[in-house]
Amino acid sequence: MSHDHHDHTHEHDHVEVEGSWRDGQDDRPLSVARRRFLSGLGAAGVATTLSTTLGATPAHAHDGRPASPVNPWAGRGRWFAGDHHIHTKYSQDGQYEVAQQVAKAREYGLDWVVITDHGSVAHEKFSISQVTPDIEQARRSHRDVLVYQGLEWNIPGAEHATVFLPPGRSTVDILQAFEAAYDGALLSTPVANGGKGLITRSTSADGEPYALAALRYLEAQVLSGRTEIALMFANHPARRGVDSPHEFRGWRDAAPDVAVGMEGAPGHQAAGIRTADGGNGTGRGGYDASPNQDSFPGYAPTATENPYRTYGGFDWMTAKVGGLWDSLLAEGRPWWVTATSDAHRVHQDTFTPGTGDHGKTGSRGAPIDTGKPQVQSDYWPGFYSSTLVGANSKSYVDVMRGMQSGKVVAVHGRIIDGLNLRVRSLGEGDNRGVTIGGRTFVRRGDDVEVVMEIDLARGANFAGVVARLAKVDLIAGPVTGPVVDRDTFSAPATKVVKSFEVARTARGTVKFTHTFRGVEGAFYLRLRGSDGNKLTSDGHPVMDVIGDADPWSDLWFYANPVFVDVI
């Protein structure tokens, strides 16, 4: 199902019957069966043909082919909360056992987690063989939590990214081969130190072709059947400004089924707590950097904004309406946002790293319990940040398919429990409509109805407070097709269309409706919501203040977009 978003790019004979989504649905099993047949061949030739086709046009191309709904609305679905960015003692700057992280994630309500230790010479050489049995043991100990094995990949030429696969016969082999061949740390480390010495720095521009090759490698593993699915999310994308706009576009185009999104909100959300309140007193999200030599020059601190800071805890690329994220969406390019913990060392936890030499053994060794709360920057997985994923079942592949198809909501501090979004044509076109991450269609001049049902928090968050959603913004902008300048990072026509106030007395589920009347061109829409505590005069999130950013008093959620085609 999650593959649907590019069906229409290679299923040329897929004809939609106007005015009836049911007829459209009847065609779907056929196309699915055909695709399975193709991928089942597993031949390199097929892989090449497919990736060429996909690479040539964005997955949501606007080339006049008939529309078909993606992520069809199916009533109230289930959300599975998770975190795709978690470190252990197998990271040079981490400390916890896999078992500790998974137990905490479960305690804090997560259904799925991804273990993502940093790629490095020592990690590839020593850590993978150690973390694999630990992950397998954690799966046995916590059968109700999906524990994915992943990697925090140093994207050559850019920032870090989560890469992960479902458990399978070749999972570890694929991850290890991927890291050995394509991790920016290994590529930039001199041969004398065990690396490849092929690029200047992990983040320097000469690494960019390796990043594209890496993603094509992962896509080839899927197409050849070695793994059912593989995903990549760019982590803390604006932190050092080294993810250029053209790099996002390049990743997505190189492997549209693998490179699917980015952290809308980075981890390290406790980092900005005031020192007077026992916190670290730095930048929320660990965002306190300035441009370096590999930063994209367009991301510059100015009198109006600082791309190197978080805004309401979210990365500038996501938080800025009409900013980088919107510039991708305005192309009709699917790109999803998430929220993670990036848990290395947890604020007020009593553990400190073990005494192991990570460079020589790939592990920090067992963490040491000092008995004293430590001042740190992170929260446990699930404690503050959640990535809610809509999936058909709580299975490894289904949750990944949900992420791939954009049925994802990024939530901080339990500001909401869930979201049921339905976007549909009120005239001719897709009357059933689609939900988050989806794509629907309407006849030119007809109306599009947006129904938002938001499940308010039914209980306290882990600060012990029932978070109160104060407002929901409906954001929309025209889809204008592929950009000419691949380093475009603004979408000036994307705006907050309407803000809905949530009554103070509201409980349970609140429902808002908005109708786009007489739709003349393709557009997309997305939602975000806030506790209303920190807003600019025009209702946007405020730049987080270094050393004074209490994350619990500035809560937001961001839902992924729905695209509306006009036929």
Partner 1 sequence: MTWLGAVPTLPGEHGAAHVDALLLAAFDGVATDFVCTHIDRLGPVAVTTLSAHVTGEVDVDRLSAALGGPVVVLDSPDPDSPGSPAARAAKAARDRAEGRCIRFPGQSALTGTHPVAEVVAGSAIDRVVGIGVPVSPTDRVETLGFLRPVCQDGELVLLVEPAVGGVLRPTEAENPHECCGGH
Binding region for partner 1 (CB under 8 A): 91-93, 117-123, 154, 160, 185, 188-189, 200-202, 204-206, 236, 239-240, 268, 271, 274-276, 281-283, 286-294, 297, 301-306, 308-309, 344, 358-359, 377, 543, 545-548
User: Which residues contact residue 265 at a Cβ distance below 8 angstroms, ignoring those fewer than 6 apart?
Assistant: 285, 310, 313, 314, 315, 318, 337, 338, 339, 340, 385, 410, 412, 556, 558
Q: Give the C-alpha distances (Å, rounded to integers) separating 180 from 150, 196, 198, 247, 531.
A: 14, 9, 13, 21, 44
| Shortest distance in whole angstroms from residue 293 CB to partner 1 | 4
**Nearer Cβ to partner 1, position 547 or 561?**
547
Give the residue among 39, 17, 37, 28 at the shortest CA–CA distance from 70. 28
Contact at 8 Å (CB) between 198 and 129? no
**Nearer Cβ to partner 1, position 344 or 422?**
344
| Shortest distance in whole angstroms from residue 295 CB to partner 1 | 8
**Nearer Cβ to partner 1, position 71 or 376?**
376
CA distance 350 to 312: 28
| Shortest distance in whole angstroms from residue 118 CB to partner 1 | 5
| Shortest distance in whole angstroms from residue 11 CB to partner 1 | 40
**Nearer Cβ to partner 1, position 305 or 449?**
305
**Nearer Cβ to partner 1, position 166 or 547?**
547
| Shortest distance in whole angstroms from residue 123 CB to partner 1 | 6
Residue matched to tokens 């993978």 = 128
Give the residue among 297, 95, 91 at the shortest CA–CA distance from 185. 91
**Nearer Cβ to partner 1, position 483 or 543?**
543
47: how many CB neighbours lie within 10 A of its CB?
21
| Shortest distance in whole angstroms from residue 178 CB to partner 1 | 16
**Nearer Cβ to partner 1, position 344 or 407?**
344
> Residue 512: what are its φ and ψ, rounded to 5°?
-125, 150
| Shortest distance in whole angstroms from residue 290 CB to partner 1 | 4
DSSP state of 124: I
DSSP state of 20: -
196: how many CB neighbours lie within 10 A of its CB?
18
Kindly tell me the sign of the dihedral angle through the C-alpha atoms of 538, 544, 547, 548.
Answer: positive
